[in-house]
Structure 1
């Protein structure tokens, strides 16, 4: 059932030593078992010898590091010239390379075919880094030469003088100072300064000549002014000659860098796919070496322990027949309720899977606890759609999500799940936007005289309808949570707990509703029913105060506050429609001033609607999620489980093909 996490079994597996490697590789590819150290099974400790990590692991790790750095260098080079936006939304696609099963030694051996190429790439990477560092240094020297040129053309001698100390540099001050006067004040008579003020950002350029005996005092004074000494890289002669040398060196370095880039691009075109596959194979082989070290060994058997979903046991048996030569034996024990060591695996159908990360963000359910994801998915999408309430904004959100799915979110993971959720929210925004008559606000009737088709209720004209619907939905949503909590308590035999925690609210709510409707004249009830409702309300309140003490008062007001929180559905719908209408009004006013301002009005409308779209999409998603996390979860959900982390491959650059 999707309402509960998958049933988990603690499993201990034994396979003949001869088949240990192919068996481990198969369960790695299938990803059905979360392996745990065999030493955690105390009843097996006297029977087994822990398996030591294979010595080949260090070689695999070293080769993996080299290959991954080579791939990273090529990918950065290929994608770097496309711009960050294009790189993010439209990353380059690499078709996965078909590979066959190999043991770690064979994987390591396959790297030898690319060792020379990887060494060449890494050498290019180091050289490019050195070139860029040198270019940055030359830029700094060129700046120093330009500033120094304010005071003279002849550079200072590169070799130190026997009697004279010379300092040339910049003091980052906004105003010029008379350094000679400062020297006199400090009693430094054997020093003289020549200075020139540039702009405020560059400060004061100065050359100080002093006798060796006054060098320390001069340096101390200059440091107090934030003096930064120029460095010309041991260049002598004139500023012009030094700049010419710099230009020549920079041109030479640029040409060398271009040649390296050209060579690396050629390598990327021809070998990037293969190198990425090699790096991935190395990483997976190292993972299997690490996993093998979790096992234990007897004379003939290799023993593994871990957790598996009950529905995967038939697949495990098939793996045992095909990859372990029929030598596999296993023992599985169902996980115990309340055991914190039992991992939690979601039991979601395909359409619900993307919403699982929302539950995990709050807290995964405990084992055997109700999984709230089934309730989160439709309610989040619906409430977001009503809050956004604009078909134009919903279409934009769906397009952004589709763009993400075509680019950075095309691989499984949280980014893909979030993009799918946003796409569903965008579709909801379109549907409820049409129902609420919002297509970029009142764009159609204001500028084109077209009434929004299929509009049912305008939040600006009929807010009471949406408010009433929000409050009805809110009380139903809260009672759904109370009902789930009641079912869980009854299922576990905690009848008293159910009556204390949920029963009192089931008593208070209908009784309070009768009193409320009678007070405002919304409905007529017999005097006997009103008295009974008053007695029921008083009894429920007394029970809450008796159970929780004085803090029970805050439980009552808290429940009322949780219910009223659903009015944010109306507030967000009004905000979206109101701001969109304001943008349209202002754009209309700008365009009506003069025909030449029509383009300005259009640009203003685009910018305003884009800002409103971003603001309301973010606000709607956060507030729709808050209604789940705070109000709904507060009635029944605790969480605190540990997610199931199977030993599984995550292939991106390779695809496994089976031998015929």
Structure 2
């Protein structure tokens, strides 16, 4: 069989089958025959594993007993004398041999230790046999004196070795066990070869499994249908775009059936199907990670695409890394283009690579500072490209870069509040849109302008506008944020506290906390660049041994930085969207629309 590419372990390609092929499988594939064969193979496999385990365990025990000059069975069959194989710590054994009472009760023979070392921690006598701190001894005493002898032996830390029951010498039994082990391994190999021969059947079995799972779900759903002697009612949800197809199917196959349609009503648990145009589809991965929206709100995917790529580009922020990400994503995209999940995933990173390249060029990061003359020589093309495209170097003007990051946070949060207004309006609550969104868009800009006046002069006209915004927005929030409370005092107190952010739809402290979170965009971008610069320095030091070492150090270092930084560049923008951005307007709780019919994560049914 051909080995599946490594990447397909993460994004397995669906099995594509036509309706005709499925019909042929259902009628001609000998499922029962293969089932019985696989069941028998599994039963044999388990039995062989158990036999192999027992055989190896017995062999392991007997190896520690090898070297005994007598058959083990003979020690157990003695009737007129008790024979025991035992272990003693050497310090106690010496004392025992000098005990007069022991000389009267016992006879013994020391048995030399085997060569080699054991592979156990010494938790029991069997595993302590090879420990050089122990003595291996054969003891003999009379049956009538057994109780006294055992009591005496225990006082010297005696440990009995359990002897297995079999005829003959240990070495002969070990040879038998080795032959058994080889026989078991051969039978296991035979089973494995047969399983390999059966592997081409897997796609067909997966297809049939998908069909039968669909039939099971169908049977479960049919139990909830309303029936009478002559009528049957099926109630469910259908996407608007599928209504013409349903009507055509009913006319052709069920001419006596009628379909009635209405829009979902508020309060119903309506399933969600995200219908997106091609440019926005990759970003639905983010929404699926967070959870589907409530049906009666809106799909946020088109509204987060630009934000995510902007944040990703700022965090990853290196032109060469961006080009590498585009190339890698495109290659994987072409290899896995038939897998919808993989297609969305790598398309998302391809577009993110474009953003990374743009922001890397604008901030002057090209594999860190690889453009420097000490690495590539004076007047190298990369240096000229960097100087012609760079607009802001965060390393040399970090304060300005921080201001830009925070300003981006302000804009993004105002955008989120605007989306809250859109959501409320869409749900038929225009007054809530104005009071819970519009008033904050008056109050917060006023706060920002007044805060800016502390650090630099603000034109008097703008200050006057800020005071008006602050008073109108603040008064409106105090008077309306507690509108759902009972009593004038609770309404007023709730409105007042809402300005701080403990209650209400937003708050000054929440706003400040959200804005500060956007400083991570700068921090992550700087981290990627600085680590890249560090690897360039390491490569230069190694390069004193030759150009090959310089190139190898660059490749290894920047590959490591690429994969480490890309994790942060994905996680932190996603966090800004999920917490700071979605927290202002997003209402989740939707469940996925699952069409009635053939459904399988591994099989794709092609309609003909």
Which TM-score applies when normalising by structure 1?
A: 0.71
CA distance in 1, matches of 2:10, 2:301: 29
CA distance in 1, matches of 2:52, 2:271: 54
Partner residue in 1 for 2:195: 264
Listed one character per residue, the Cα deviations across residues 282-341 of structure 1 (whole Å, up to 9, x for unaligned) are: 3333333333333233223333221122332222111101222x121122232112x142
Structure 1 contact 88–408 (Cα < 8 Å) conserved: no
Cα deviation for residue 567 of structure 1 reads: 1.7
Residues 1:306 and 1:382: Cα distance change in structure 2 (over 3 Å): same
Partner residue in 2 for 1:647: 596
RMSD: 4.3
Structure 2 contact 539–550 (Cα < 8 Å) conserved: yes
CA distance in 2, matches of 1:158, 1:377: 83
Structure 2 contact 315–525 (Cα < 8 Å) conserved: yes
Correspondence 1:433 to 2:382: no
CA distance in 2, matches of 1:435, 1:422: 20
Cα deviation for residue 372 of structure 1 reads: 1.5
Residues 1:297 and 1:643: Cα distance change in structure 2 (over 3 Å): same
Partner residue in 2 for 1:553: 500
CA distance in 2, matches of 1:483, 1:309: 28
Partner residue in 1 for 2:487: none
2:307 to 379, 385, 392: 379
Listed one character per residue, the Cα deviations across residues 401-458 of structure 1 (whole Å, up to 9, x for unaligned) are: 4566567885344x65444433332343233333333332223435223335363233
Instruction: Please say which of residues 356-365 and 576-585 is displaced more in the overlay.
Output: 356-365
Correspondence 1:611 to 2:544: no
Residues 1:438 and 1:273: Cα distance change in structure 2 (over 3 Å): same
Residues 1:126 and 1:95: Cα distance change in structure 2 (over 3 Å): farther
* Structure with bigger gyration radius: 2
Partner residue in 2 for 1:488: 423
CA distance in 2, matches of 1:335, 1:573: 46
CA distance in 1, matches of 2:198, 2:566: 44
Partner residue in 2 for 1:329: 258
Cα deviation for residue 579 of structure 1 reads: 0.9
Cα deviation for residue 198 of structure 1 reads: 4.2
Partner residue in 2 for 1:23: none
Correspondence 1:370 to 2:287: no
Cα deviation for residue 621 of structure 1 reads: 1.1
Instruction: Please say which of residues 568-577 and 513-522 is displaced more in the overlay.
Output: 513-522
Partner residue in 1 for 2:185: 254
CA distance in 2, matches of 1:500, 1:653: 50
Map 1:119-268; keep pairs closer than 5 Å. Answer: 119-149=36-66, 152=68, 154=70, 156-157=72-73, 160-161=76-77, 164=82, 166=84, 178=92, 198=117, 201-203=120-122, 204-205=128-129, 234-268=165-199
Listed one character per residue, the Cα deviations across residues 2-43 of structure 1 (whole Å, up to 9, x for unaligned) are: xxxxxxxxxxxxxxxxxxxxxxxxxxxxxxxxxxxxxxxxxx
Helix, strand or coil at the partner of 1:115: helix
Structure 2 contact 85–160 (Cα < 8 Å) conserved: no
CA distance in 2, matches of 1:408, 1:400: 12
2:526 to 561, 566, 574: 574
Structure 1 contact 507–536 (Cα < 8 Å) conserved: yes
2:237 to 307, 325, 335: 307
Map 1:405-484; keep pairs closer than 5 Å. Answer: 405=333, 410-413=338-341, 417-445=344-372, 446-449=374-377, 450=380, 451-452=382-383, 453=385, 455-456=389-390, 457-484=392-419
Structure 1 contact 191–208 (Cα < 8 Å) conserved: no
Partner residue in 2 for 1:43: none
Listed one character per residue, the Cα deviations across residues 156-190 of structure 1 (whole Å, up to 9, x for unaligned) are: 32995467475679x9xxx98747979999x9987
Structure 1 contact 385–428 (Cα < 8 Å) conserved: yes
Listed one character per residue, the Cα deviations across residues 353-410 of structure 1 (whole Å, up to 9, x for unaligned) are: 3322422432322222132111122211221012101234334444554566567885
CA distance in 1, matches of 2:198, 2:217: 28
Helix, strand or coil at the partner of 1:569: helix
CA distance in 2, matches of 1:356, 1:409: 17
Structure 1 contact 153–240 (Cα < 8 Å) conserved: no
Structure 2 contact 72–169 (Cα < 8 Å) conserved: no
1:295 to 212, 215, 225: 225
Cα deviation for residue 260 of structure 1 reads: 2.9
Helix, strand or coil at the partner of 1:374: helix
Correspondence 1:502 to 2:437: yes
Cα deviation for residue 544 of structure 1 reads: 4.8
Number of equivalenced pairs? 556
Instruction: Please say which of residues 82-91 and 640-649 is displaced more in the overlay.
Output: 82-91
Helix, strand or coil at the partner of 2:232: strand
| Structure 1 gap segments, 5+ residues each | 1-77
CA distance in 2, matches of 1:99, 1:155: 70
Cα deviation for residue 628 of structure 1 reads: 0.7
More RCO (CA 8 Å, sep 6+) = 1
1:589 to 541, 547, 557: 541
Partner residue in 2 for 1:351: 279
Partner residue in 2 for 1:73: none
2:20 to 92, 99, 108: 99
Structure 1 contact 128–257 (Cα < 8 Å) conserved: yes
Partner residue in 1 for 2:504: none
Residues 1:643 and 1:283: Cα distance change in structure 2 (over 3 Å): closer
CA distance in 2, matches of 1:631, 1:230: 68
Structure 2 contact 318–365 (Cα < 8 Å) conserved: yes
Residues 1:284 and 1:536: Cα distance change in structure 2 (over 3 Å): closer
Residues 1:512 and 1:316: Cα distance change in structure 2 (over 3 Å): same
CA distance in 1, matches of 2:147, 2:335: 66
Map 1:498-537; keep pairs closer than 5 Å. Answer: 498-521=433-456, 523-526=458-461, 529-531=462-464, 533-534=466-467, 536-537=469-470
CA distance in 2, matches of 1:289, 1:417: 33
Helix, strand or coil at the partner of 1:99: helix
